[in-house]
């Protein structure tokens, strides 16, 4: 849990010339420093300052302050200047003058030595020496005493080995008591143990060691701005010794989605009940128990939970024993865990039911509310199959005896990969045969695949620090789609991955983007790393690498990585080193991949064909807000594994591959070709631009022989040409001419991408109030898709791809009142309403039917009543989206406000509601007003930097395209604080509005003339 204290100003400088030293110098603090500086600050010696550590006061300024304090004392005590009885000052003696001169010379010399110190540069951060040490200001603890640590990251002089944690949650009072015993090992002699604690009322703390006769009371200093506490030892803690720190504390169950939090729900009798669950990633374990809350500090855990006997508990490990402790109260004790990070610890106190199945000596169970137990069978079968697949693919068995998957009725994230106890939203785990669509089935399968992949990538091997979060999330996302393709090929998930890559590149083409491996320190910076770049871009780069080095080498590299670092922590370089052991000098994977993870954005590859020669050139693809003559930053250079195909591609060699590791190069073909297409199946993470003649050739190819290219290649061409329109490389009309081939297209991926690109244009025009022009944009698309709309049936028949195609096309047609779509949907809704919701609707078109029905007041009210009584989360999700699609302003405001309150509609749905509300003309202004008016409530509920806040800021502003709205958004966030205005999502929102303004200036006139 991130406390509000994190947003307070930094503490005042502690003047140690006046404050007595509270702690003796530790061995690692003894190094040379000027005496005047020593009066104020102490260095941390061998503990290096991270280059990205937060700013401190200038060392030069501190030196001046310190010397001033000292010289003041000298003046007050100087014997050389005596006042005579008549009040006049006597002339100092020669000896006094000499002494003063010597003192002055020494003082000046000290200053010169500091400023002229070799290999030392004074900056805002201070004196940077070769070993990166610098002087730090110690902050003040809450009791006004000196806090003995001044960095965001914990010191490494003490490491945890084992936690023995006892918790006593009370679901009636919503409070809990806790006691933790932490066994630590001392790496460097110290007098302090620095660890994390947030919002915990510590009532008692003691320290013991094998060499001591009894536990000794210890003082605890608190510094809540960084969620840190310092345990002050009574004696020096010696190298190599183990100590046990025992802390008792009290706290409240959280009313946010972080930490140890409470959830209300209705049981099968519609009575209100409470459960308690945990969500610790990234920084909230510290709000449930004092701990070393950084991923690299792995330890084992023994969890004990005291509860009312009517409840049950779950944790990472199997339950060992249940012991009665009082009337109606029992204590559950779980097995000792494997070595793991604090953010993976989990426990739940609730009344849940489950079904189970055993595979390879692991008991897999799926838990849900009793009334929803009938919706867990698909999840259980899916989890068993995926667990078996991962064990075979990684050649590493799942190391625990059990694996629980739990549906939590109120859960902000999609799911959380706690080792042995994975928690989910109900919509991402439960599948109802009567109300869940093909896309719902794909979603549940994908989320389970992602979280099970984490049991190896993230749990067994964990990133050392949050800057490399992509090692966890990028890998889990990549394996999610790979495992689904291998295990459930009928779901055709590769197209879903393709759509996500397109959307991620839209975000990554902004200047507000970031490298997927980025330096982070603060809690907000860490929260901001949980974005599409860490997940989807990370996965995309792994896909590109796999295609380049081939599957067998890639798989061997993964196995090598997991075996080398099991139960350990890693950096990105550890992965590349493991891959290099497999490539064995044939390819430097580290050199190649560092160009992708340490640079933000991605390349634009321009191809010019001349005879048998292909001239290729790379630059950064950037949707710049600068003038037309702006040029890309020349310092950007990627090592790009180019893939390409031609009309004469040899089936045994196709696609061809070329590594472009310089700004430009020439590829020689064996013979002249009619056409060439780069980035085959969009397996590479780059955009391709062709010379005008080659674009024309490819457009003709789509019209005359579209099957010469795969559906993914066709979708890729649509995405690329509209992306190039956005940066002025291709005229808008050429992009629309390419879409003319859609009359022959029958595949989901290209049509989905075409509708997405056109919808971006439609939204900009419609939200400007240009309804006539917006209607003409729709008419243009209708002419291309009319026959496909008319061919659709309102059933669940066909393959997954055909069913998704039907959902996509009919949703588009009904939302724009094309053909007979709205009439058919209205009739189906009336029949469903007349049956009081008992009539079955085709699941793939259910949302479209609900959305059409919600256009009337009666339909909307009936849908709301059905929403409150439905036990199918898949059905409720569709109902909620339909409810938020109304254009009734009062209803939209009520929906957003009710969701924020979190009773009738859970707060977990708010982000999705806002994303739906903004799709209508009145809704997009209402949503932004709602965000402004409720900003403080939003950041209390979801936390600054969280994915929910990122999403709310982005979706509520991304359709603005006027200078007035740009000024309004800028002014609003600047008025909150400079810190908030510098958040990445805020910068992204502002940059997107600027780009929308530029797009309209460049293309609006052309659009009006052409249509």
805: helix, strand or coil: helix
DSSP string, 745-760: ---HHHHHHHHHHHHH
- Helix orientation angle between 377-394 and 438-454, rounded to the nearest 10 degrees: 40
Is 901 one of the catalytic residues? no
The pair phi, psi for residue 951, each rounded to 5°, is -65, -45
Q: Point out which residues pair with 367 in neighbouring strands.
A: 354, 406
Q: What does the alpha-carbon distance between residue 6 and residue 10 come to, in Å, rounded to a whole number?
A: 9
Q: Point out which residues pair with 1001 in neighbouring strands.
A: none
Q: Are 305 and 332 in contact (CB under 8 A)?
A: yes
Q: Are 453 and 390 in contact (CB under 8 A)?
A: yes
CA 107 → CA 63, 64, 104, 112, 542, distances in Å? 11, 11, 5, 9, 58
Q: Point out which residues pair with 300 in neighbouring strands.
A: 162
Q: Smallest Cα–Cα separation from 444: which of 409, 399, 414, 470?
A: 414
944: helix, strand or coil: coil
Q: What does the alpha-carbon distance between residue 18 and residue 65 come to, in Å, rounded to a whole number?
A: 12
Q: How far apart are the first and last CA of the chain?
A: 53
Q: Are 512 and 973 in contact (CB under 8 A)?
A: no
- Full 3-state SS string of 672-726: CCCCEEECHHHCCCCEEEECHHHHHHHHHHHHHHHHHCCHHHHHHHHHHHHHHHH
Q: Are 847 and 874 in contact (CB under 8 A)?
A: no
- Output the six-digit token pair for 947: 């994915």
Q: Are 183 and 161 in contact (CB under 8 A)?
A: yes
Question: Could you identify the residue written with the tokens 């009791």?
Answer: 143
Catalytic residue (one of 135, 281, 451, 875): 451
Q: What does the alpha-carbon distance between residue 967 and residue 964 come to, in Å, rounded to a whole number?
A: 5
By residue count, the chain amounts to 1011
Helical H segments across 817-909, by residue range? 821-834, 846-853, 857-869, 873-883, 889-901
Question: Could you identify the residue written with the tokens 């030595």?
Answer: 113
CA 758 → CA 296, 751, 822, 1001, distances in Å? 46, 10, 21, 17
**Residues of 403-424 as b/e, b for ≥16 C-beta within 10 angstroms?**
bbbbbbbbbbbbbbbbbbbbbb
The pair phi, psi for residue 729, each rounded to 5°, is -85, -25
- Output the six-digit token pair for 479: 């394996």
Q: What share of the chain is helix, strand, coil (3-state, %, to 5)?
A: 45, 20, 35
Q: Smallest Cα–Cα separation from 154: which of 460, 465, 571, 517?
A: 465
Q: Point out which residues pair with 687 in neighbouring strands.
A: 604
Burial class (CB in 10 A: 0-12, 13-18, 19+), 381: middle
Could you tell me whether strands 347-350 and 362-368 are parallel, antiparallel, or unpaired per DSSP bridges?
unpaired
**Residues of 938-951 as b/e, b for ≥16 C-beta within 10 angstroms?**
bbebbbbbbbbbbb
Q: What does the alpha-carbon distance between residue 356 and residue 383 come to, in Å, rounded to a whole number?
A: 11
- Give the torsion through C-alpha atoms of 293, 298, 302, 305, to 10 deg: 30
Q: What does the alpha-carbon distance between residue 211 and residue 205 come to, in Å, rounded to a whole number?
A: 18
Q: Show which residues are catalytic.
A: 451
């Amino acid at each position: 849990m991130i406390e509000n204290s994190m947003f307070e100003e930094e503490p005042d400088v502690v003047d140690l010339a006046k404050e007595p030293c509270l702690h003796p110098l530790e061995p690692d603090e003894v190094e040379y420093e000027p005496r005047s500086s020593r009066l104020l600050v102490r260095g941390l010696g061998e503990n290096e300052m991270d280059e990205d550590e937060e700013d401190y006061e200038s060392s030069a300024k501190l030196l001046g302050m310190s010397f001033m304090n000292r010289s003041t004392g000298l003046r007050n005590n100087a014997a050389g200047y005596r006042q005579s009885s008549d009040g006049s000052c006597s002339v100092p003696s020669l000896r006094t003058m000499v002494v003063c001169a010597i003192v002055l010379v020494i003082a000046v010399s000290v200053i010169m030595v500091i400023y002229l110190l070799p290999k030392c540069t004074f900056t805002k951060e201070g004196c940077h020496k070769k070993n990166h040490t610098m002087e730090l200001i110690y902050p003040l603890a809450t009791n006004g005493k000196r806090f003995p640590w001044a960095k965001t990251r914990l010191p490494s002089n003490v490491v945890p080995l084992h936690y023995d944690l006892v918790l006593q949650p009370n679901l009636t009072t919503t409070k809990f008591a806790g006691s933790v015993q932490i066994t630590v090992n001392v790496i460097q002699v110290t007098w302090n143990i620095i660890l994390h604690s947030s919002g915990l009322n510590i009532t008692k703390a003691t320290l013991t060691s094998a060499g001591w006769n009894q536990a000794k009371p210890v003082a605890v200093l608190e510094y809540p701005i960084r969620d840190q506490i310092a345990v002050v030892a009574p004696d020096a803690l010696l190298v190599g010794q183990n100590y046990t720190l025992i802390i008792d504390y009290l706290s409240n169950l959280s009313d946010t989605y972080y930490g140890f939090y409470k959830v209300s729900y209705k049981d099968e009798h519609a009575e209100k009940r409470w459960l308690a669950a945990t969500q610790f990633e990234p920084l909230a374990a510290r709000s449930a128990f004092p701990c070393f809350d950084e991923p690299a500090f792995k330890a084992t855990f023994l969890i004990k939970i005291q509860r009312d006997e009517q409840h049950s508990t779950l944790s990472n490990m199997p339950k060992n024993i249940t012991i009665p402790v009082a009337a109606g109260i029992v204590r559950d004790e779980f097995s000792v865990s494997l070595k793991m990070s604090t953010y993976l610890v989990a426990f739940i106190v609730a009344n849940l039911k489950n079904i189970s199945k055993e595979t390879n000596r692991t008991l897999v169970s799926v838990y849900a509310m009793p009334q929803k137990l009938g919706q867990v069978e698909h999840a259980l079968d899916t989890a068993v199959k995926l667990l078996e697949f991962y064990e075979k693919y990684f050649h590493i068995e799942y190391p625990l005896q059990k694996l629980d998957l739990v549906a939590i009725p109120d859960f902000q994230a999609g799911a959380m990969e706690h080792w042995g106890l994975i928690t989910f939203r109900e919509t991402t785990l439960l599948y109802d045969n009567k109300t869940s669509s093909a896309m719902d089935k794909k979603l549940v399968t994908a989320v389970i695949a992602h979280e099970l992949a984490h049991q190896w990538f993230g749990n067994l091997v964990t990133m050392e620090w949050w800057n490399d979060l992509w090692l966890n999330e990028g890998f889990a996302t990549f394996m999610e789609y790979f495992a689904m393709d291998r295990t459930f090929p009928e779901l055709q998930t590769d197209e879903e991955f393709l759509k996500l890559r397109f959307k991620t590149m839209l975000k990554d083409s902004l200047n507000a983007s970031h490298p997927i491996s980025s330096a982070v320190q603060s809690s907000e910076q860490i929260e901001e790393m949980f974005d599409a770049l860490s997940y989807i871009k990370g996965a995309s780069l792994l896909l590109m690498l796999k295609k380049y080095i081939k599957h067998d080498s890639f798989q061997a590299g993964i196995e090598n990585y997991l075996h080398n670092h099991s139960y350990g922590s890693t950096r990105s370089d550890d992965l590349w080193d493991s891959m290099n052991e497999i490539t064995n000098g044939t390819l430097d994977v580290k050199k190649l991949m560092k160009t992708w993870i340490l640079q933000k954005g991605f390349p634009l590859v321009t191809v010019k064909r001349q005879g048998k020669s292909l001239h290729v050139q790379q630059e950064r693809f950037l949707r710049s807000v600068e003038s037309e003559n702006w040029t890309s930053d020349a310092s950007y250079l990627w090592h790009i594994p180019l893939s390409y195909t031609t009309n004469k591609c040899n089936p045994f060699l196709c696609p061809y591959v070329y590594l472009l590791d310089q700004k430009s190069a020439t590829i020689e073909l064996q013979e002249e070709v009619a056409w060439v297409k780069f980035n085959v199946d969009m397996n590479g993470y780059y955009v391709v631009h062709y010379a005008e003649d080659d674009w024309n050739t490819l457009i003709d190819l789509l019209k005359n022989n579209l099957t010469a290219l795969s559906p993914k290649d066709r979708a890729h061409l649509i995405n690329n040409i509209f992306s190039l329109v956005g940066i002025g490389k291709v005229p808008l009309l050429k992009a629309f001419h390419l879409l003319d081939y859609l009359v022959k297209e029958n595949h989901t991926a290209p049509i989905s991408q075409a509708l997405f690109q056109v919808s971006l244009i439609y939204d900009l025009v419609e939200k400007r109030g240009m309804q006539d022009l917006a209607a003409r944009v729709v008419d243009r698309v209708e002419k291309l898709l009319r026959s496909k709309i008319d061919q659709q049936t309102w059933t669940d028949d066909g393959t997954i791809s055909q069913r998704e195609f039907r959902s996509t096309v009919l949703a588009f047609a009904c939302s724009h009142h094309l053909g007979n779509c709205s009439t058919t949907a209205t009739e189906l809704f009336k029949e469903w309403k007349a049956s009081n919701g008992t009539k079955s609707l085709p699941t793939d078109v259910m949302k479209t039917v609900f959305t059409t029905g919600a256009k009337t007041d009666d339909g909307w009210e009936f849908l709301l009543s059905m929403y409150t009584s439905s036990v199918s989360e898949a059905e409720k999700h569709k109902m909620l989206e339909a409810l938020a699609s109304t254009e009734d302003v009062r209803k939209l405001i009520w929906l957003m406000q009710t969701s924020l309150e979190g009773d009738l509609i859970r707060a977990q749905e708010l982000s999705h509601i806002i994303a739906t509300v903004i799709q209508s003309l009145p809704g997009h202004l209402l949503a932004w007003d709602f965000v402004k008016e409720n900003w403080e409530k939003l950041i209390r509920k979801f936390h600054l930097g969280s994915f929910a806040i990122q999403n709310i800021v982005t979706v509520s502003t991304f359709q603005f395209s006027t200078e007035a709205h740009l000024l309004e958004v800028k002014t609003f966030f600047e008025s909150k604080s400079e810190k908030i205005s510098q958040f990445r999502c805020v910068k992204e929102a502002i940059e997107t509005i600027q780009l929308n303004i530029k797009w309209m200036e460049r293309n609006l006139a052309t659009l009006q003339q052409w249509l």
